[in-house]
C-alpha cells in the first residue's frame, strides 16, 4: 500500500529535510518532550518496539541506544536509507529499517511490546485509513502493550500563521489555515510554498481519543507535546539556557494533560493500551 502514499507527500519528504527538522530550538523542544513522554509510558528495555512512520530514525536511534529492540518502517525510501545509515553509525546499538505502510503491517499478531505512530495519522486524511492504521497497531502489539500516537492540532496552522505574520501577508496560506479550522484537512501540493506543510489531517484533541477508542484500545491518555510554548518569541534563547530550558520543560509537563490546553499545542500525543 506504499504506492498509495500521495505524490506530494513523497515529494515533500523527498527533499530530505526531516532528518534535521528536530535540531533547531522548536524541533529540540518537540524531541525532548516526546522522549520524556516515551520514557514515562514505554515498558523497560529490552522491549520490542515497532516504530511506524519512523522517518529517518531520529527516535529509533536513541531508543536503540537505550537497549530497546527497534524495527522502523516508513513509506519514504529516502527516510529508510537515512535510517539505515543512522543505524550503521551506531553499530553497538543497531535497529532495523525498511519500507512499509501503517495500514498493512507485515508484523505478526502480538509480536511487539509497543508501537509508535508518531507521524502516520496526520498523513492519512481519511478517517477510515487512520482507523485501519490504529487497528493494525493494535493487532501487532501484545495484550497489555502500549500504542503511542501523534497528531497535529487542528489549530496549528492558524497559530503558526499568526506568529509568523502569514495570515496578514500570505493570502494562500490564510485560505489553507481557514480550511484547517473548518475541516481539519490541510491542503498541500507540489507547488506549495516550501515553508508550508504538505497534505495532512489536523485533529481536534477529542477526535484523537475517539479514534483510539474505536480501534479497540483502552486506558487512553492525551498529552500535549509543546503546549502553547512553541509560540514563544524567545524560544531559541530559552532552549539555549540550561536553567530556562529545564523550567520550560517543567512548565509544559505541568499543564500537558489539561484538556482545555491541548489544542494550543502543535502536537498531541495519544497513549493507549491493547486490552
Three-state SS string across 2-46, please?
Answer: HHHCCHHHHHHHHCCHHHHHHHCHHHHHHHHHHHHHHHHHCCCCC
Residue in 252, 247, 275 with CA at minimum distance from that of residue 264: 252
The whole-angstrom separation of Cα 180 and Cα 202 is: 7
Q: Is residue 186 part of a domain?
A: no
Q: Provide the CA 179 distance to its chain's centre, in angstroms.
A: 21
Q: Is residue 198 part of a domain?
A: no
| 147-166 average pLDDT score | 97
Which residue's C-alpha cell is 491518555?
A: 221
Confidence of residue 100 (pLDDT cuts 50, 70, 90): very high
CA 85 vs CA 79, 91, 92, 98, 182: distances in Å: 10, 10, 14, 12, 41
Residue in 270, 169, 273, 180 with CA at minimum distance from that of residue 224: 270
Above 80 in pLDDT, residue 3? no
Above 60 in pLDDT, residue 191? no
| Overall domain count for the chain | 1
The phi, psi pair for 272, rounded to 5°, reads: -150, 170
Percentage of residues in the chain with pLDDT exceeding 90?
A: 86
Mean pLDDT over each residue of the chain, to the nearest integer: 94
Q: Judge whether 201 and 180 are in contact, CB under 8 Å.
A: no
| pLDDT value at residue 194 | 66
**Cell output for 124:** 492519512
| 222-238 average pLDDT score | 96
Q: Is residue 194 part of a domain?
A: no
Q: What is the pTM of this model?
A: 0.94
| pLDDT value at residue 237 | 96
| pLDDT value at residue 1 | 36
| 206-219 average pLDDT score | 98
Q: Is residue 89 part of a domain?
A: yes
| 38-50 average pLDDT score | 98
Q: Provide the CA 233 distance to its chain's centre, in angstroms.
A: 23
| pLDDT value at residue 212 | 98
Q: Is residue 64 part of a domain?
A: yes
| 43-64 average pLDDT score | 98
Q: Is residue 97 part of a domain?
A: yes
| pLDDT value at residue 192 | 53
User: Angle at which helices 127-140 and 205-214 pack, to 10 degrees?
Assistant: 50
Q: Judge whether 225 and 27 are in contact, CB under 8 Å.
A: no
Q: Is residue 195 part of a domain?
A: no
DSSP 142-201: EEEEEEEEEEEETTHHHHHHHHHTHHHH-HHHHHHHHHHHHHSEE---TTS-TTS--SEE
| 81-100 average pLDDT score | 98
Number of H helices, E strands in the chain: 11, 9
Domain extent for 10: 2-153+203-273
Q: Is residue 34 part of a domain?
A: yes
| pLDDT value at residue 189 | 53
| 27-48 average pLDDT score | 97
Beta pairing class for 141-153 and 267-273: antiparallel
In this structure, of 2-16, 160-174, 197-211, the range with the lowest mean pLDDT score is: 2-16
| pLDDT value at residue 8 | 81
Q: Report the CATH number that the domain containing residue 260 is assigned in CATH.
A: 3.40.50.150
| Bridge partners of residue 114, in order along the sequence | 49, 146
Above 50 in pLDDT, residue 2? no
In this structure, of 128-142, 180-194, 231-245, the range with the lowest mean pLDDT score is: 180-194
Amino acid at each position: 500500500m506504499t504506492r498509495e502514499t500521495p505524490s506530494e507527500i513523497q515529494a515533500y519528504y523527498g527533499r530530505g529535510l526531516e532528518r534535521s527538522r528536530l535540531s533547531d530550538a522548536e524541533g529540540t523542544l518537540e524531541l525532548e518532550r516526546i522522549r520524556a513522554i516515551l520514557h514515562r509510558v514505554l515498558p523497560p528495555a529490552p522491549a520490542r518496539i515497532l516504530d511506524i512512520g519512523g522517518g529517518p530514525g531520529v527516535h529509533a536511534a536513541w531508543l536503540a541506544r537505550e537497549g530497546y529492540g527497534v524495527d522502523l518502517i516508513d513509506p519514504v525510501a529516502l527516510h529508510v536509507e537515512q535510517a539505515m545509515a543512522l543505524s550503521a553509525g551506531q553499530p553497538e546499538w543497531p535497529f532495523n529499517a525498511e519500507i512499509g505502510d501503517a495500514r498493512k503491517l507485515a508484523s505478526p499478531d502480538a509480536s511487539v511490546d509497543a508501537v509508535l505512530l508518531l507521524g502516520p495519522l496526520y498523513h492519512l486524511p481519511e478517517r477510515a485509513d487512520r482507523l485501519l492504521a490504529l487497528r493494525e497497531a493494535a493487532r501487532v502489539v501484545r495484550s497489555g502493550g502500549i500504542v503511542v500516537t501523534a497528531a497535529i492540532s487542528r489549530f496549528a496552522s492558524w497559530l503558526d500563521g499568526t506568529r509568523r505574520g502569514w495570515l496578514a501577508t500570505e493570502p494562500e496560506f490564510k485560505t489553507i489555515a481557514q480550511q484547517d479550522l473548518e475541516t481539519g484537512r490541510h491542503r498541500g501540493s507540489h507547488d506549495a510554498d516550501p515553508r508550508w506543510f504538505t497534505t495532512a489531517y489536523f485533529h481536534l484533541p477529542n477526535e484523537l481519543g475517539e479514534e483510539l477508542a474505536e480501534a479497540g484500545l483502552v486506558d487512553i491518555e492525551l498529552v500535549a507535546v509543546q503546549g502553547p510554548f512553541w509560540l514563544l518569541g524567545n524560544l531559541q534563547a530559552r532552549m539555549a539556557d540550561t536553567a530556562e530550558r529545564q523550567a520550560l520543560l517543567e512548565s509544559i509537563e505541568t499543564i500537558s494533560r489539561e484538556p482545555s490546553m491541548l489544542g494550543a499545542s502543535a502536537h498531541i500525543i495519544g497513549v493507549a493500551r491493547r486490552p
